[in-house]
Chain A
């Protein structure tokens, strides 16, 4: 059994492509994913850049993602990379993303580009780890990946908005979620703070420290 953790980087569809923009507001420019085996070790990774069709990558997005127009000039188009990604996921039991919006993006872009590609199989094994992790902490409003990484007290590996590294950090959060001792050590105090009736092994003072305030978490 294997599990995939994935992330996408996108750029906006240029509004001059009005018809396309009405269907889907963004285009994928990078797929990043890691595959974990049963012992939760990384056994494979997937990173592909995608050449956008509807406009160039705006400078702000080049800066944010570290992906330039020159980087994607010779990249494959969306359909080719999506097909390769789906094939790469074939042996995975579940494909986890940090949010449900990545699957929505794939659906929207397939529709916008009118591609003869069925997402049924991929969608059937899709799961939103952002929701799972946020609920586990006891919060109702979704945590960003950066917030979750901070809460879990792991240093952010690589740089944010790099799809492969975001996927890798999501996988690390999964490892913590699965490890009862690590989960209780790093998440337990926060969980006790927001859900005092569920855990009694942590005091509110333990829980709060200054961590909650520093993280600027949304109020429940």
Chain B
């Protein structure tokens, strides 16, 4: 499901080696990502690996609230899923699930691409509901893309970027 009244594209090509693929209901490969306690801690604030049911529930929630994509990188001539991102006006949760692809600026490229998508949709701003204070990588990633902290939350800040 897409944002109400807005058709979701099947693909968003970011560059020759990176693209977003619309969620199609298949996500078995993502289960391994959410077994990483450190990753789950950054996402949810607790170190508890996801069950398959939790994973399905999360994707169903994200798919129902906005545009859900898998981030895919070109690897040996084929695109493979390396993370997920979803986006609607008030939030943009993003996970680079494959450790080998972290710290390579992929998050920034994805965020900038979705900011462009927000502009195409006529949005004047995009929000991120909460980034935990301890998630330094995410803070730096969103800040470098132009998001600024605007409101204290329980464990961090809500961020916003004007488009």
Contact = CB atoms under 8 A, between A and B. Distances in A.
Contact of B162 (A94, A124, A127, A136): A136
B75 interface: no
Given A135-B162, A177-B148, A125 B122 contact: no
B152 A177 contact: no
A191 B162 CA distance: 11
Given A198-B122, A199-B124, A178 B150 contact: yes
Chain B interface, DSSP helix/strand/loop, else mixed: mixed
A178 B148 contact: yes
B44 interface: no
A135 B146 CA distance: 9
A197 B122 contact: yes
Contacts of B144: 126-127
A196 B26 CA distance: 40
Interface residues of B, number: 17
Nearest to B152: A38
A38 B133 CA distance: 13
B148 A124 contact: no
Contact of A1 (B123, B149, B162): B149
Contact of B146 (A132, A195, A198): A132
B140 interface: yes
Interface string B126-163: 00000001000001100110101110100001000111
Interface of B: 122-124, 133, 139-140, 143-144, 146, 148-150, 152, 157, 161-163
Given A178-B148, A198-B122, 20 more contacts: A1-B133, A38-B152, A93-B139, A93-B143, A93-B149, A94-B139, A94-B143, A126-B144, A127-B144, A131-B146, A132-B146, A132-B162, A135-B146, A135-B162, A136-B162, A177-B148, A177-B162, A191-B124, A195-B124, A199-B124
